[in-house]
Structure 1
Amino acid sequence: MGCSKNQSLMPIEQALSKMQSAVSNVCHAINLPLAQALGYALATDVLSPLNVPSFNNSAMDGYAVLKGDLKKASKQSPVSLTLVGQSFAGAPYHGKIKSGECIRIMTGAVMPKDVDSVVMQERITRHDDRITFIQTPTLGDNVRLAAEDMCKGQCVLKKGHKLSVRDIPLLASLGLADISVFRPLKVAVFSSGDELKNIGHTLSEGEIYDSNRYSIIALLSRLNVEIIDFGIVKDDRVAIREALLLADQQADVVITSGGVSVGDADFIKEVLIEIGSIVFWKLAIKPGKPFAFGKLTHSVFFGLPGNPVSAMVTLYQLAVPIMATLAGFDVAPVLRLQAKCSHVVKKSPGRTDFQRAIYKIDDAGQLIVQTTGSQGSGVFSSMSQSNCFMVLEAERGDVLQGEIVIIEPYNALMN
């Protein structure tokens, strides 16, 4: 399709900008025990209530010393100090250490105020209470200083940050038993089509299994959302209207697949105009041109195409970033890389093309990419076999073998 035939189609960049401008966070803050907060978005900045660590401590099992006592220690002239005590994690040494003395100290134990360095235990010899050193340490060797990691009052995580496995122990180290997060987004899902059948049932002539709902719910399950499954709704204007009204009452987001094209039985668009509004319909992307974005009384609406690949591509590329904003998450930038295309790829200018592809690194360390073959919007095996999108710009034509293209490796939602 040439550019002249796509003048009325909205570019994907404009569509994303328009949707982001039209929505904001709809989820209120709740308090959760830290152990249950994984995957939630922070409702406030997290400020450290204390210094971490809260005291100078040893980073090694060894001997705490005054560096000055060992300023001349060497293999030729070893220096011996008197062992006067020990400091264990949770059981600090409280005595005063004088020049010529040292203490045994274990990892994480409090450093006495009088000493400034730790010599690891492998670098000494011991005879009774005499500890012999053969090397002068650098000032502060093997010592973790108070507030070295975090200072009291420091912002350690920002509002909107999605709590990861790496963040939970960080917050635990601050002693935070509960955390303020945004409640999960509520998302209603249904498929539309008289030809659709639930899996587990026998197909009659002309019928197909409803795979879209399963792909949508599978991807949504990787997000922190509450899914409301409305099943299959027949291509009936009244049934679709009732389903949309009920979904609008129960959810923050309504996602449908099918019924947004131009067929005689595609009622979703006209019902949406009647009970809500359409912000835009039809985009300059491939696959996924008949994507609709609109609003109902209480919810945001995403109308995905009926073709399986088109539904997955538009959900991933368009709906997910907007749902992140609605749920209070920071929208992370998309990782895109340059790769060398291993073969000729046919493309007509006019629409941004998301080709399903496989990337790898060759023996020279170069990223190489090839498509999965047939790119039809009904060929869902192209999604299953791929590990990235080859993103071909709207104005681009055919890609020659060896040309550099942009790839977008699948993130955790798709893997």
Structure 2
Amino acid sequence: MRTVDEHRARILGTAAPLPVETIPLDRARGRVLASDIRSRWPVPLFDNSGMDGYAVHGADATVGAELRVVADVPAGSSLDPALGPGQAARIMTGAPVPTDADAVIPLEHTDLGTEVRADAPDRITVTTAPRPGAHIRRAGEDAEAGSVTVAAGTVLGPWQLSSAASAGHDTVDVHRSPRVAVVSTGSELIAPSARPVRGQIPESNSVLLAAAVASAGAEVVAVHTVADDKAALVTVLDGLDVDVVVLSGGASVGAFDVVKAVLDRTGSIEFGPVSMQPGKPQGFGVGDDGALYFCLPGNPVSVAVSFEMFVRPALLALAGRSDVDRPRVTRRAAVGWRTPPGRTQVLPVVLDDTTVRPATSGGSGSHLVSSLAVAQALAIVPADVERVGEGASVEVMVLT
């Protein structure tokens, strides 16, 4: 029986980042940058005003000095008016600072204050003297030309995309997102809205897995539900063109475990127990088509736990992420609970700032679907812990 760490190491050893593609910024949110973004020019491009006010010679702008306004420089202007002694130019935030100016006086530091005017005034009186270089954003002070603006390996969010645009780029090189197929197996499965008869249950695993795959930033390209029929499963799998296939059900040692019957020893796919509860029956490997195959148990809690422990980290690694793990914290057990002998327990839990408790009173059974609706985290209890006592320290993987 493999340990959780051994099974995970085998998976991550095969999950190399996918090839690089160049895409527009508006499609790049959430993707992982494959190469450094370097600024094409200095940021800012030119000395510009950090305030609405007046560009001045600092030596002239003493308290009480009256300055003649000889120009008006709005944002976007290419004007560079000459400023003689005792002269100023009205200037707006972001506009280029005249070459002759060495400071900007904000509107509120003049006798006219922030009064809105369509045209520049003829004169202003200084009420607060500026310090040298006041309110001038110097060219290149944010980034020099050629400097790295966003480093490779960064997950691109709104702020990083803005930085890329400011650096003069409208496309970026990113790792391709994994393309994933979800296949739920079982002759007992019916549509959630159907009326079950004896032996039937609503199919929920494909809903869980498709949503989880999308939440991990991967692309769901196919979702199938297949009865316990070898030919039907082979037909579905032969029609896929994906990077990852996630199957649920049929991975154990039962007489009708169709996933194992079809895929065992195909490519490098192997089935075997992993010392965890829930989620003991697992299969994984690279298929003949080059895709990664995750063969998970069929019970919904087992599916959820297996996805978090094994599938999600692999999807993130394929996408180029280096940080593939959920954050973990330590909490004190609010109540005691039982653990499975000799197996790592991965238990849906709820937690607060100091304590953690099971999400339901039923323990860690793989059939306890109600625990998924309220769980905020997974408690990771080592295999050598015989029982979690009230007040014991517990490692917790935070999901929300």
Q: Which bin holds the TM-score, normalised by the shorter protein?
A: 0.7 to 0.9
> Does residue 292 of the first structure (1) align with residue 283 of the second (2)?
yes
Root-mean-square deviation (Å): 2.6
C-alpha distance 336-109 of structure 1, shift in aligned 2 (>3 A) = same
Q: Is the 8 A contact 1:85 1:93 kept in 2?
A: no
Unaligned runs of 5+ in 1: 1-7, 362-366
| Corresponding residue number in structure 1 for 2:83 | 97
Superposition TM-score, scaled by structure 1 size: 0.84
Matched, 1:173 2:160: no
Equivalent position of 2:369 in the other structure: 380
- Deviation per CA, 1:343-373, whole angstroms, max 9, x where unpaired? 2233346333222222334xxxxx4333212
| Aligned position for 1:347 | 339
**8 Å Cα contact 2:271/2:281 also seen in 1:** no
Q: CA separation of 1:396/1:104 partners in 2, compared to 1, >3 Å: closer, same or farther?
A: farther
Corresponding residue of 2:71: 85
Once the two structures are superposed, what CA deviation does each residue of 1:294-346 show, in whole Å capped at 9, x if it has no partner? 12112111011111011011112211111222233444443122333322233
Q: Supply the distance in 2 between the matched residues of 1:140 and 1:345 (Cα, whole angstroms).
A: 66
1:5 corresponds to? none
Aligned to 1:3: none
Contact in 2 for aligned 1:161/1:330 (Cα 8 Å): no
Does 1:202 find its partner at 2:195? yes
What does residue 125 of structure 2 align with? 132
Secondary structure at the aligned position of 2:215 is classed as: coil
What is aligned with 2:51?
Answer: 60
Q: C-alpha offsets along residues 40-71 of structure 1, whole Å, 9 cap, x if unaligned? A: 3334332221222101111111222333444x
Any idea what SS the aligned residue of 1:169 has?
helix
Q: Do structure 1's residue 369 and structure 2's residue 360 form an aligned pair? A: no
SS in 1 for 2:346: strand
- Give the 5 Å matches for 1:2-151: 8-10=1-3, 12-26=4-18, 28-70=19-61, 73=63, 78-126=64-112, 129-151=122-144
Confirm or deny that 1:161 pairs with 2:154: yes
Kindly state the Cα deviation for residue 280 of structure 1 after the two structures are TM-superposed: 6.0
Q: Do the aligned partners of 2:184 and 2:225 also contact (CA within 8 Å) in 1?
A: yes
Q: In structure 1, the residue corresponding to 2:158 is in which secondary structure? A: coil
**1:211 Cα deviation from its structure 2 partner:** 0.6
Call closer, same or farther: CA 1:399–1:17 in 2, change over 3 Å. same
Tell me the CA shift for residue 125 of structure 1: 0.9
Q: 1:100 to 1:343 in 2, by over 3 A?
A: farther
> SS at the partner of 1:275?
coil
CA distance in 2 between counterparts of 1:55 and 1:307 reads 62
**Aligned equivalents of 2:359 and 2:108: distance in 1?**
57
1 CA distance for matches of 2:15 and 2:178? 13
- Cα gap change, 1:174/1:242 in structure 2, threshold over 3 Å: closer, same or farther? same
Q: Residues 61-103 of structure 1: CA distance to partner in whole angstroms, max 9, x if unpaired? A: 1222333444x64xxxx44433332221012442222443322
Q: Percent identity?
A: 31
Counterpart residue number, 1:266? 257
Q: Residues 286 and 101 of structure 1: is their aligned pair in 2 closer, same or farther, counting only changes over 3 Å?
A: farther
Distance 1:57 1:87 in 2: 11
Q: 1:189 aligns with which of 172, 182, 206?
A: 182
Distance 1:332 1:65 in 2: 53
The Cα shift of 1:19 comes to: 1.6
**Match for residue 273 of structure 2 among 279, 282, 297:** 282
Task: Tell me the amino acid that sits aligned with residue 327 of structure 2.
Answer: L
- Return the match for 2:302 from 302, 310, 317: 310
Are 1:119 and 1:141, in contact at CA under 8 Å, matched by a contact in 2?
A: yes
1:213 — aligned with what?
206
Q: Which runs of 5+ in 2 are unaligned?
A: 114-120
Q: Which moved more, 1:49-58 or 1:373-382?
A: 373-382
Q: Is the partner of 1:125 in helix, strand or coil?
A: coil
Structure 2 residue aligned with 1:334:
326
Single out whichever of 142-151 and 379-388 deviates more from structure 2.
142-151
Native 8 Å contact 1:389 1:409 kept in 2: yes
Counterparts of 1:46 and 1:62, CA distance in 2: 34
